[in-house]
């Protein structure tokens, strides 16, 4: 985890033929529960009305939004530094991405 990006490992759909993932510039949203150099990878969730960007996933444990510098896809592995939980990205019923805890 040298870069600090919460995207630990890309899911299986990232092989040949898959479209390139978009990259995102992250800004510091003032999330102060992790060390300064990791702050831009997290932000507080604004509740159900807070739509997540394609590079964001909500941690189901601590309800913090995890932000990657890359677009997220099903099968991706994430690490939430705020609660030290490993997560996997899945496609939710509504078609949006959701994060599930890896036990």
Which residues form the interface with Zn ion (CB under 5 A)? 59, 61-62, 80, 82-83
Q: In what order do the strands lie in the sheet with 77-80?
A: 7-9, 77-80, 85-91, 97-101
Q: How far is the CB of 61 from Zn ion (least distance, A)?
A: 4
Q: How far is the CB of 67 from Zn ion (least distance, A)?
A: 12
Nearer to Zn ion, 18 or 53 (CB): 53
Nearer to Zn ion, 18 or 33 (CB): 33
Between 82 and 89, name the residue whose CB sits nearer to Zn ion: 82
- Find the shortest distance in angstroms from Cβ 56 to Zn ion: 13
């Amino acid at each position: 985890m040298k870069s600090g990006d919460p995207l630990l490992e890309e899911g299986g759909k990232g092989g040949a033929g898959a479209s390139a993932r978009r990259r995102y510039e992250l800004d510091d949203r003032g999330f102060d529960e992790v060390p300064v150099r990791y702050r831009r990878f997290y932000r507080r969730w604004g509740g159900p009305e807070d739509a997540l960007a394609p590079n964001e996933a909500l941690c189901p444990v601590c309800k913090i939004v995890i932000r990657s510098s890359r677009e997220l896809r099903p099968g991706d592995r994430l690490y939430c530094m705020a609660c030290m939980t490993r997560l996997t990205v899945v496609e939710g019923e509504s078609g949006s991405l959701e994060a599930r805890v890896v036990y």
